[in-house]
Structure 1
Amino acid sequence: MDERRLVGRLKDPKLPREELDRLATSQFSPPSMRVAIAGISAFSRQNRWEDSLGFLEAMHAQKLQRHLYTHSAAISAMEASGQWAHALALLTELQGLQIQLDTMAFNTAMRACASGEAWTQAQELFLELRAGQLEPTAITFSAVAAALRGTWRRAVALVAEARHSSVRLDAAFFSTLIAGLDGEAWEVALALLADMLRRDIPADSWVFSSCMSTCEKASSWIAALGIFSDMQTQQWQPDASAFSSAVSACGKAELWEGALTLFESAGPKRRDTITFSAAISAMEKSRRWSEALALLSAMRQQKMTPNVISYCAAISACEKGAEWQRAEALLAEMRLQGLELNSIGLCAVISACDKGGEWQRALHFLEELSLSSLELGGIALNAALSACERAEAWQSSLSVFAPRRGVWG
Structure 2
Amino acid sequence: MIPGIAVLALGYMMSQFYRAFLAVLSGDLTTDLGATPTELSIASGTWFVIFALAQFPVGLWLDRYGPRRMTAALFTFGAGGGVMLMAFATTPLHLIIAMGLIGIGCAPVLMASFFIFAKAFPPARFGLYSAWIVAFGTMGNVAGAKPLAVLATEFGWRPVMLGLFVMTLAIGLAILLFVKDPPTDDNAQDHAIPGGSFLTLLKMKQLWPIFPLMAVAYAVPAGIRGYWAAPYLSEVFGADTPAIGTATLWMALAMIAGSIVYGPLDRLVPSRKWLNFGGGIVVVSSMLVLAIWPSSSLGLTTAMLVLCGFAGMNYPILMAHARQFFPPRLVGRGVTLMNFFSVGGVGVMQWITAALIRDETILQTPIVAFQTLFWFYVVVLSLVLVLYLAARERPDDKPA
TM-score class, shorter: under 0.3
Higher helix share: 2
Q: Which has the higher contact order (CA 8 A, sep 6+)?
A: 2
Larger Rg, first or second structure (1 or 2): 1
What TM-score does the superposition give when structure 2 sets the normalisation length?
0.20
